Structure formats: structure tokens, C-alpha cells
Amino acid sequence: MPSLDSLLITDPWFYALAVPALLITGISKGGFASGGGNLSVPAMALLLPAPQAAAISLPVLCAMDLAGLRAWWGRWSAREMRVILPGGLVGIVLGSLAFGAMGDRLTKLMVGVIALAFLARALWLARRGTPPAPAAPSAVRGGFWSIVSGFTSTIAHAGGPPLAVYLYPLRLERAQLAATTVVFFGVVNYAKLVPYAALGQLSLGNLLTSLVLLPLAPVGVRLGVWLQGRISDKVFYRLIYSLLALTGGKLVADGLGL
């Protein structure tokens, strides 16, 4: 039987990428600059196969979600949750089927494209100027984008941008939007534990590495709470966007074999 040391990831460069990436994720889940957590898998996938990076991240994300679920429980939009939650679960099933069939290069390419697409959309929205009138709720659009969100969340924990395409134009009240998003991804992340375990991704080695990183969960969430009112979202987002551009571009290049 292999020793624990041989199963645990010991590469210092991995932790140099994983620690700040997960702290940023926790800060985002703590309510500061929400949406900045798309960095964790792209950063780790620079040194690991993308499926392994996603598997190591998942238990840490689940721990972070506990704080969010407690804070926002009962404050979501019931109308939208009835639309997006079933779609998210369908997306998990589809993502689980693709998870085992996609090679590492294709997965890295997808993660890189998702990161760059999120960046491009964020920059476009920032430059658009006057926001449009609120969009009308739609079971068809909500179902479609929540399926895409569940799929990309299963592949790379990158379900935020597709869900935002549907939810943000609705112009929900701020707390209601936050609660709907947090609870949706809390349920989705815990549901993903089932296919990840079935696909063999929650191996002892991956779980041990997750355990080492687990203390980052409360630290990151508390940092997110503390940073509110102390640092502007604009400064934080500039850092996130710069890192996303670098990691997303590198993953796309790796996926294309450049």
C-alpha cells in the first residue's frame, strides 16, 4: 500500500498556485466581488490534469458553500429557483457523461475558453454604459442557461458565467440575486460529489490534498467579509481579470498543443 506522502501532492509550485486561487474563491463566496472565484481550476490546471484540479477543488468549495448557505438560506427567488435548479441538475448529468469521455487537452482547452469568455463578457459589460431595462423571466432561457451552468460547473467549477447570462438581466434585488446564486451553486456542488465519486475522482490522494487546502475555506470566506468596505471591487476585479487572462490563455495554448 502506498504511503500517504506518496499520494499527497508535494510540488511547491502547485501550492503556490492553489493557495491564492482558493483564497480568491473564498473571498468571492464571502460576498466581496462576487464572481471572482472562476480562477481556481484554471490556475491548478496549469500543473495538473484539469479533471484532477476540479476534483481537488470540490471538497474545499463544498466547505465554503456551508457559510454561504447559512447566510442566504430562504432569501432566494423561489420563481427562479424552480427554473434553474432542475436545469442545473440536468447539466450535472450531462457534464458527468462528458467528464469521463474528454481527454486532458480538450478539458484544458474548454477550461481556458470558459475563463477567457468570462473575462470578455465582464469587460464588455463594464464598457457598455447604461444598463438595459430588466429582462422578463423565461423558463426556456432559464432552463437552457442553467443546464449550461451545471455542465460547465461539473467540468471545471465554472458555472457562474452561464448562469449570469440569464440571472443578471433580470435585475433582481441585490440580496435576492446573491441568495439565488449562492444557494444554486451550494446545491450543485454537493450534488457533484456523487458523479465525482463514481468517476473515481475523489481518490485518497486527491482527498488528502483537499484536506491540506481545506483551512483556506473559512479563511477566504472571512477575508471576503472583512474586505467589504475596505477595498474597492474595481481593484479586486482588475487583479482577477489579469490572472484570468494569463491562465486562460496558457490553458488554451496547451489545449491546442501550441
pLDDT tens per residue across span 12-53: 999 998 998 898 888 877 666 555 556 777 788 888 888 889
Q: Is the pLDDT of residue 4 over 60?
A: no
pTM above 0.85, yes or no: no
Mean pLDDT of 190-206: 93
Q: Is the pLDDT of residue 1 over 70?
A: no
Beta strands, E only, 117-187: none
Residue 240 vs residue 165, higher pLDDT: 165
Buried b (16+ CB within 10 A) or exposed e, 204-217: ebbbbbbebbbebb
Query: Please, are residues 165 and 59 in contact by the beta-carbon 8 Å criterion?
Result: no
Give me the residue spans of the domains in the chain.
10-255
